Amino acid sequence: MRKDKILVSIIVTTKNEGEVIEKLLKSIKKQTYKNIEILVVDNQSSDATKEICKNYTNVVLDFGPERSSQRNFGAKKAHGEYVLFLDADMELTPNVVEECVKTMDAGNKVGGATILEESVAKTYWEKVKAFERSFYNLTGDEMTDAARFFRKDLFFKLGGYDEKITGPEDWDLTDRLRVQGYGVGVVNAKILHYERVKNLMTLFKKKYYYGLKSHRYLTKQKVSPLSAKTIIFLRPVFYKNWRRLLLHPRLTASMYLMLLGEVVAGGLGFVVGKLTNL
């Protein structure tokens, strides 16, 4: 079958995403690769999310309670040979899907693809978060990269997303992919990621929530709670690009303050989750 004829299923998980979802859906419709189906898996939105989505796809499903289970449910309903998982606060540049398909064509041992992101930020702390993410997205970073695009048969062979994990479930699936001997390609076509950070407390609450079940990922993948994977400011990618840190002293200082708070919040969530066996 010609590569441009292979069906790609794009699975979008939503919950009250009415303010941002239309940008993503419009960008999917503008892809240079046309053989696409869109599946939206919504988790009881109380705003106009589902109504907006129905203007772009006939497949708007209801499922929960978390992102992992939504994604797995969407994959079960998908008809494509490939599956791409996206978040509602994203927007695709025009050739993302085309480049993903080409990346998977590199050989049978390429099982997934990561897509570099470019943050879109307005508020100060959104710009700080964007500065952090820019280090990972210069050329990709194996420590933080997680695949979004998979061969569907391999996705199910791996068991899909672990529904007991919330937060690092994408790392977990990518780790399992590599353990099975499959490579993960890097797609240079960008995803625009709209950072939605009202204030630092927004970030800290998110890290605490993800931390509650992080012990499951760390135990499963034998990752130390004191590793650079979890203590963000220890990640080598920052120090390999130390000149960028020096060139932007204000952003650098703010980033380290933010990362310290995220580590404390995530660590607290980890301890609470571990003690209460969440």
Query: Does position 106 have pLDDT exceeding 80, yes or no?
Result: no
Higher pLDDT pick, 71 / 143:
71
Q: Dump strand ranges (E) for the chain.
A: 8-14, 36-42, 60-62, 82-87, 90-92, 110-120, 149-151, 183-194
At 262 the pLDDT is: 96
At 278 the pLDDT is: 81
Higher pLDDT pick, 233 / 52:
52
Non-local CB neighbours of 104 within 8 Å, separated by 6+ positions: 82, 110, 113, 149, 151, 185
Three-class secondary structure of residue 262 per DSSP: helix
How does pLDDT run across 165-176, given as a tens digit for each residue?
A: 998 999 999 999
At 107 the pLDDT is: 66
Q: Please, are residues 154 and 169 in contact by the beta-carbon 8 Å criterion?
A: no
108: confidence class by pLDDT, cuts 50, 70, 90: low
139: confidence class by pLDDT, cuts 50, 70, 90: confident
At 144 the pLDDT is: 87
At 91 the pLDDT is: 98
Class of domain 3-197 as given by CATH? alpha beta
- Domain spans of the chain, in order of start: 3-197, 199-278
3: confidence class by pLDDT, cuts 50, 70, 90: low
Rounded to an integer, what distance in angstroms lies between the CA atom of residue 5 and that of residue 15? 32
How does pLDDT run across 220-252, given as a tens digit for each residue?
A: 999 999 998 899 989 999 999 999 999 999 999
At 233 the pLDDT is: 86
